[in-house]
Structure 1
């Protein structure tokens, strides 16, 4: 039986109370490189054009998503401390669920206390702290370890 072809769903704008997610890019998967499809969003203060960060959702699971996560985020320094990363993750729940994903991996460097707090705030469970494989892009960029969190989501 042939596997169904991936289809991006119409989640181009996700409205929140304090922040909105606005699609910047939809990246198709690349089997050769091992990349799964991804939604890439700007995080804006709600109802404005002011971008305060970014968040990505990678749909599907493989070795790369285990080390790199299903969700990646970054908040501009000026706007940190407002729990915007956790709020953006919560807004992505509906996208993940629409793709049948109920367990999401979020990773961060062990010394990234803010990101670790974001995972804890979401209720994600620390699975392990792993040494990155030497063949990974993250290792080649100088990173050596990742905290692997599993976030279970429900409809």
Structure 2
């Protein structure tokens, strides 16, 4: 029998002027092949303005072949400050606390800034895959994804994530 999924408390996720604020958690939906997900706002720590979003999906690499474990979007006027890369790095301890040993990022081949983000965080390009016609993101217009892998190592004690009391 499979152990039920438990969302964890991510704690305070801050890097200089960037703060990740948990806005919601989404339970798995096996009928849609969706895995559990955390969603965070990227906020400027002193101005309290939302600069974008980042999502961490917890599941097998196979289930996330076309979505990836991490997805991010940075609003146009806030681009150029490496907020996407810094957000990814802030989420690594949470991913590791869930037992993930590697993260996969799936990037549109035309999105050069996202490819650079993958390189900045140390993810390695593995392959480009064709999206099946029956997949939800194909229906949204996507045809290919560049897949990057980022290996995870142990986290330090001050990065520990506490179990949620959900």
Structure 2-normalised TM-score?
A: 0.89
Partner of 2:152: 153
2:8 counterpart SS class = coil
Secondary structure of 1:123's counterpart equals coil
Secondary structure of 1:5's match? coil
How far, CA to CA, are the matches of 2:2 and 2:18 in structure 1? 36
CA drift of 1:64 comes to: 3.9
TM-fit CA distance, 1:141 = 1.1
Higher relative contact order (CA 8 A, sep 6+): 2
Which structure 2 residue ranges, 5 or more long, are not aligned? 155-166
**TM-score, scaled relative to structure 1:** 0.95
**Structure 1 segments of 4+ aligned residues over 3 angstroms from their partners:** none
1:22 corresponds to: 21
For the Cα contact (< 8 Å) 1:20–1:47, is it kept in 2? no
* Stretches of structure 1 lacking an aligned partner (at least 5 in a row): none
Deviations 1:99-120 (A, max 9, x none): 0112001011111000000001
Q: Which residue of 2 aligns with 1:133?
A: 132
Give matches, 1:1-150, under 5 Å: 2-11=1-10, 13-61=12-60, 63-150=62-149
SS at match of 2:113: helix
Are 2:61 and 2:68, in contact at CA under 8 Å, matched by a contact in 1?
no
Q: What's the C-alpha RMSD, in Å, of the aligned pairs?
A: 1.2
Post-superposition Cα deviations, 1:75-100, rounded to whole Å, max 9, x if no partner, equal 00001011110000000011101101
Check whether the contact 2:122–2:150 (CA below 8 A) recurs between aligned residues: yes
- Count residues in correspondence: 154
